[in-house]
């Protein structure tokens, strides 16, 4: 005797990712999702998985930062967010990772070089821009003790400008 077993997901068990949400039959969900997407109209990416808040939230929850690192990360996030609201989010491409010494590394590559914001276990931070050898951009390196940064806005703009 042949026994056929059909395994299907119940139709009510929808996921929470953007594709499931956009296929939702609930008008309320679709409306809310579109409202969230509105600020990044024109972006090739979507706000739910590639915006500043999401990247920092995911990194903080998965990479086990120290309390000092979290405090510095929150300050950096605040100013990245301000930039995100002002310019095309497509230009806000950056990644967050941990180095082998457990520093948080927020980095970005441009045609001219690599920008790094390194956040140490005590919340101190260094900014570095290393230009490729064929670029005529200027290298930068600055170290800040925790609480030593007076202008996070300038730091954030330089991170994305170089």
Residue 106 Cα distances to 119, 150, 160, 162, angstroms: 8, 19, 11, 14
Binding mask 48-87 for another protein (x = CB under 8 A): ----------------------------------------
- Of 47, 129, 152, 156, which one interacts with another protein (CB under 8 A)? 129
Contact 125/149 with Cβ under 8 angstroms? yes
Alpha helical stretches, state H, 23-122: 27-37, 47-50, 52-62, 67-86
Residue 96 CB neighbour total at 10 angstroms: 20
Residue 109 makes contact with another protein by CB under 8 A:
yes
- Of 59, 69, 72, 124, which one interacts with another protein (CB under 8 A)? 124
Question: Which element (helix H / strand E) includes 130?
Answer: strand 125-131
- Of 105, 110, 112, 160, which one interacts with another protein (CB under 8 A)? 105
Residue 99 makes contact with another protein by CB under 8 A:
yes
**Which spans of this chain sit near another protein (rule: CB under 8 A)?**
97-101, 105, 107, 109, 113-114, 116, 118, 120-122, 124, 126-133, 138-143, 145, 154, 158, 162
């Amino acid at each position: 005797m042949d026994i056929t077993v059909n395994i299907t997901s119940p139709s009510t068990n929808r996921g929470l990712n953007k594709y499931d949400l956009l296929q939702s039959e609930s008008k309320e969900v679709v409306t809310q999702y579109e409202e969230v997407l509105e600020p990044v109209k024109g972006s090739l990416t979507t706000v739910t998985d590639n915006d500043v808040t999401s990247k920092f939230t995911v990194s903080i929850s998965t990479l086990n930062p120290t309390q000092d690192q979290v405090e510095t990360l929150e300050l950096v996030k605040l100013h990245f967010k301000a930039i995100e609201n002002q310019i095309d989010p497509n230009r806000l491409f950056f990644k967050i990772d941990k180095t082998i010494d457990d520093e948080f590394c927020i980095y970005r590559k441009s045609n001219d070089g690599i920008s790094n914001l390194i956040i140490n276990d005590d919340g101190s931070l260094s900014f570095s821009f290393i230009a490729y050898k064929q670029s005529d951009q200027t290298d930068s390196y600055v170290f800040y003790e925790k609480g030593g940064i007076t202008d996070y806005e300038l730091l954030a703009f330089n991170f994305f400008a170089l």
